[in-house]
Amino acid sequence: MLPADDLGEPVPLDQPQRVVSLVPSITEAVAHTVPTTLIGATDYCTHPPDLDVPRIGGSKYPDVDKVLDLRPDLVIANSEENRPEDVERLRANGVNVWVTEAPKTVPMALDSLKRLFQLAWDVTPDWLTDAEDLWREAKPAKLTALVPVWRRPWVVVGRDTFATDVLRRLGIENVYAHHEERYPRPTLDQLNARKPDLVILPDEPYLFTHEDGPESFPGLPYALVNGRHLTWYGPSLVAAKASLTRALDYGQG
C-alpha cells in the first residue's frame, strides 16, 4: 500500500532524489536534511541563503512547465500555499506530488515533516527533534496581541494558524484567535477597537518597520519580529523561540 500525503492522496515515496519544493519553509527543511535531493524551488525560497537551485516562479503561481522540465521524482506542495489546479496538472503529467496540510499548530507542522522525512528517506533530522523539545510546552497567557501581516488592505493572523499557536506557546493570546476566518481583513478602526496589549509586526510577507506600521496604532506598544521565525515551520524553529522572545520582551518594554 502506498503512503498517503496529508490530504489522503496515495503517493509513491522511495528515496526520491530529484525534489522540487513549492513551499519555502519545506524547502529549507529539505535543504538541511537531504540537501543533494533538492533540484528546484520557488522564488520565495530564501533559506538557506546559499541555496543554489533553479527557480520556478512563485508559490501561488509557479511555472509548471519549468517544474516539468526539471524532471522531478517528487514535488512537495501545501494545501494553502499552492493551487489545486497546479498540483493536478503535475500529477496528470506523471509527477508524484506530496501535499502537506496547512498546519494549525507547531506539533501538527512538525509531525507532518517528520512523517514525510521518515517515509521518503527514513530519517528524522536532529533539528526537528530539537524543535519538538523547544516548542512542546505552552506558557500561560500573560498578554494579548494583534498580528498584522499586510496593509492596504489590513490582513491579520486569525484562527487555526501556525503563527497563533507559536505565540500561544510564548504566552501571548492573539486577539483574533477565535475569529471565523484564518486571515481576517478588518478595518483599521476595528483593529484599534480590539485594544490589545501589544501589536506584533513581522517583516514578511509585508515588511513592517519602525516607520511603516506602528503609526497606525497610536499609544500601543509594538514589537518588530522576524516573520520567518513566526510563520516558517522548518529548521528556523530552533532559533525562533529565542529570537521571538527577545523581540517580544523588547516590545513590551
Lookup result for grid cell 496604532: 217
Distance, CA of 202 to CA of 7 (rounded, Å): 29
For residue 250, what pLDDT is reported? Answer: 63
Contact 49, 72 (CB under 8 A): no
206 close to 185: Cβ distance less than 8 angstroms: no
**What DSSP letter does each residue of 123-135 carry, written as one string?**
---HHHHHHHHHH
Alpha carbon distance 110, 200 (integer Å): 24
Domains and CATH numbers, the chain: 19-105 (3.40.50.1980), 137-252 (3.40.50.1980)
pLDDT averaged per 10 residues in sequence order, the chain, 253 residues: 95 96 97 97 96 95 97 97 96 98 96 97 97 94 96 96 97 96 96 96 96 96 97 96 91 54
Confidence (pTM):
0.93
